[in-house]
Each structure stands twice: as C-alpha cells, then as structure tokens.
C-alpha cells in the first residue's frame, strides 16, 4: 500500500479542503431553503435561487471527488479510495433526496401562491364599483338587443279558432314587453305568421 507524500499529498489536502468548503455551502443553502419554506408567503424566486446554488455546489463536489479518486488510483491507495467512495455515495444519496423534497415543496408553494393571487385578483375585480357609464351602456345594450323569451310560440296561419291562443302567448311574451321597440314587436309578429295570415299582413 502506498502512502501519499510531498506534492501529491498536498494536492489531495487542498482538494479535500475544497470539497469540505463546498459541502458547507450546500448545508447553508439547504438551511436557507428550510427557513424560507416556513414563511407564510415564501419567496419562490429566492427559494429557486437557493436550490440552483445547491445543484451548482453539488457539481463542484462531484468534480473534486473525481480529482481525488484519480490521485488515489494512481497512487494505489485502496483503503482511502474505498472510504472516499462510501462517503461520497452516502452524501450524494442524502443530498439528492433533500433536493427532490425541496423541489416538490417549492412547486407546491408556487401553485398555492398562484391560486391565492388569482383569488385575490378576482375579489379585487368584484369589489370595483360599476361606473354610471357602464350601467347606461349595459342598459342600452339590453334595449337594443333584447333576448327573445325562451317560450315556444306556435305560428298563426289565419285560422280564427287558433287566434285567441296565439295572441295570448304573443301578447304576454312580446307585445306587452317593455324591452322591445314597436318596430321589433312588429317584426316578431310577422315572423310568426304563415299562409293566409302572412299574406293578409303583407297587404
């Protein structure tokens, strides 16, 4: 079994120190995520920035691990390499689990926040007063474009026996309505006349 000495040992020492430093950054960012998610209204952008920072640090840690492994392999230091592999595998497994959990929580909070914003906007719009001009425009539209009552009126063909029933329905739904102008009432009447009745009104 070989032992690291001289420049090689110093290089590994620096790499291990760099790895430890970045793991510290990861821990701090994960703590920031944990605290940020406890807020009543989490800052989603900030949380995503923390999550991205952890992923970046993770990539650096993986790169440093490869560099150290290469040195151990070249120096034929098996025990240290096995210990490093085990430590790296355990660390990355736990980190990946944490990243997945925090990502899910951020997505959930974003959906909740978006829904709250939609509800808030709907309430705001509902509370806005209607301007007088809006009311007049609405009334004007309803007068100019009345909706025909959803009542089936049988067409009148001129048979005197059917006149009373036809006129009673037409009168109550259209003729007596204040939503129709006289010309509109006449147009509706013409549309319900057929055969002799239509010919008579045409003159």
* Separation of alpha carbons 180 and 148, rounded Å: 10
**Cα separations (Å) of 187 from 115, 128, 143, 193, 197?**
49, 39, 16, 10, 14
143 and 169 fall within a common domain: yes
Q: Residue 184's pLDDT is what?
A: 85
* Separation of alpha carbons 115 and 41, rounded Å: 12
Residue with tokens 């009345």: 146
Q: For residue 176, tell me if it sits in a domain.
A: yes
118 and 96 fall within a common domain: yes
108 and 146 fall within a common domain: no
99 and 158 fall within a common domain: no
* Separation of alpha carbons 61 and 22, rounded Å: 7
Contacts of 98 (CB under 8 A, 6+ apart): 30
Q: For residue 179, tell me if it sits in a domain.
A: yes
149 and 77 fall within a common domain: no
Q: Residue 151's pLDDT is what?
A: 58
Q: Would you say 81 and 93 are in contact if contact means Cβ atoms under 8 Å apart?
A: no
- Write down which residue in 102, 127, 152 finishes a domain: 127
84 and 148 fall within a common domain: no
Q: Residue 1's pLDDT is what?
A: 47
Q: For residue 53, tell me if it sits in a domain.
A: yes
Q: For residue 132, tell me if it sits in a domain.
A: no
Q: For residue 72, tell me if it sits in a domain.
A: yes
143 and 123 fall within a common domain: no
* Separation of alpha carbons 98 and 91, rounded Å: 11
How many structural domains comprise the chain?
2
Q: Residue 148's pLDDT is what?
A: 56
Q: Residue 149's pLDDT is what?
A: 52
Angle at 176 between CA 170 and CA 132, to 5 degrees: 130
16 and 46 fall within a common domain: yes
Q: For residue 51, tell me if it sits in a domain.
A: yes
Q: For residue 1, tell me if it sits in a domain.
A: no
190 and 119 fall within a common domain: no
pTM score, two decimals?
A: 0.52
State which residues form the domain around 91.
6-127
80 and 150 fall within a common domain: no
- Residuewise pLDDT in 10s, the chain (203 residues): 456 778 888 988 899 999 999 999 999 999 998 898 888 778 888 899 999 999 999 999 999 999 999 988 888 888 888 888 999 999 999 999 999 998 888 988 888 777 667 777 777 777 777 665 555 555 544 445 555 555 578 888 888 888 998 898 888 888 898 888 888 888 888 888 888 888 877 76
Structure tokens at 116: 């709250």
119 and 190 fall within a common domain: no
82 and 145 fall within a common domain: no
């Amino acid at each position: 079994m070989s032992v690291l000495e001289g420049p090689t040992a110093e290089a590994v020492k620096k790499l291990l120190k760099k790895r430890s430093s970045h793991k510290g950054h990861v821990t701090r960012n994960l703590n920031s995520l944990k605290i940020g998610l406890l807020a009543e209204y989490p800052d989603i952008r900030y949380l995503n920035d923390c999550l991205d920072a952890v992923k970046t640090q993770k990539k650096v840690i993986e790169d440093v691990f490869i560099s150290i492994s290469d040195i151990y392999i070249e120096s034929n230091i098996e025990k240290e390499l096995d210990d490093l592999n085990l430590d790296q595998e355990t660390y990355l497994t736990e980190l990946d689990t944490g990243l997945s959990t925090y990502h899910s929580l951020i997505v959930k909070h974003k959906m909740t926040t978006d829904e709250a914003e939609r509800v808030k906007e709907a309430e705001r719009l509902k509370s806005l007063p209607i301007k007088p001009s809006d009311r007049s425009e609405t009334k004007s539209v309803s007068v100019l474009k009345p909706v025909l009552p959803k009542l089936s009126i049988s067409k009148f063909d001129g048979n005197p026996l059917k006149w009373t029933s036809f006129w009673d329905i037409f009168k109550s739904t259209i003729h007596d309505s204040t939503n129709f102008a006289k010309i509109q009432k006449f147009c509706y009447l013409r549309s319900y006349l057929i055969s002799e009745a239509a010919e008579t009104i045409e003159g």
